[in-house]
């Protein structure tokens, strides 16, 4: 999702101008159960609606994308770790508030999502892979901690690689 198209240029720009970049990774909780219980067409409705919430909550400069399966990501230029956390919490609450009609016409479906957030400091040696790894690690911590929550990548730890949340803190 973050190949060297315009998606990597924001990272280079952030380093050059010493701006923060936030990254949010989200995963729809118990998505396999939705597909198994209600079918893949219902799962597609869930993906579309969560994607819509993500896009509507994003600014024009943000880069929301489907990362794979039921995972999505948002690159947030000019956003620090706390700003990324606040954005993720707004989206998390909006996803939780969705009332998705069942395709069978027999009621509605509620879904939740878990979020991991990380941010890129203005250090020269930070890279995209470290940023993705930090956000992904925080996402899995959110899943392990009970789902339907947002976790910051190891708090606001400044590291040698310039990413908040990667091991090898100074």
Please classify residue 128 by burial: count the beta carbons closer than 10 Å to its beta carbon, then call 0-12 exposed, 13-18 middle and 19+ buried. buried
How far apart, in whole angstroms, are the C-alpha atoms of residue 96 and residue 50? 10
Residue 157 has pLDDT above 70, yes or no: no
Residue 128: pLDDT band (50, 70, 90) is: confident
Where does 39-125 have alpha helices with state H?
40-57, 81-96
Residue 159: pLDDT band (50, 70, 90) is: very low
pLDDT score at 4: 40
Query: What average pLDDT score do residues 121-148 get?
Result: 83
pLDDT score at 65: 93
Return the closest-CA partner of residue 132 out of 121, 144, 119.
119
From the candidates 70, 82, 96, 170, give the one annotated as an active-site residue: 70
Tokens 């101008």, located at residue: 17
| Cα 19 → chain centroid | 19
Q: Any catalytic annotation for residue 70?
A: yes
Phi, psi of 136 (to 5 degrees): -65, -40
pLDDT digits (tens, 9 = 90+) for 138-150: 999 999 999 999 9
pLDDT score at 12: 56
Return the closest-CA partner of residue 65 out of 123, 26, 104.
26
């Amino acid at each position: 999702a973050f190949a060297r198209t315009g998606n990597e240029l924001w990272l280079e720009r952030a380093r050059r101008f010493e701006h923060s970049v936030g990254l949010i990774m989200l995963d729809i909780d118990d998505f396999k159960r939705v597909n198994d219980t209600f079918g893949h067409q219902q799962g597609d409705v869930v993906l579309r609606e969560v994607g819509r919430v993500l896009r509507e909550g994003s600014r024009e400069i943000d880069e929301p994308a489907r990362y794979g399966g039921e995972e999505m990501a948002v690159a947030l230029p000019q956003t620090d770790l706390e700003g990324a956390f606040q954005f993720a919490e707004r989206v998390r609450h909006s996803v939780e508030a969705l009332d998705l009609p069942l395709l069978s016409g027999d009621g509605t479906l509620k879904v939740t999502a878990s979020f991991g957030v990380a941010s890129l400091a203005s250090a020269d040696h930070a890279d995209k892979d470290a940023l993705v790894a930090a956000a992904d690690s925080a996402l899995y911590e959110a899943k392990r901690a009970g789902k339907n929550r947002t976790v910051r990548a190891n708090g606001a730890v400044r590291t040698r690689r310039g990413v908040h949340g990667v091991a090898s803190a100074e």
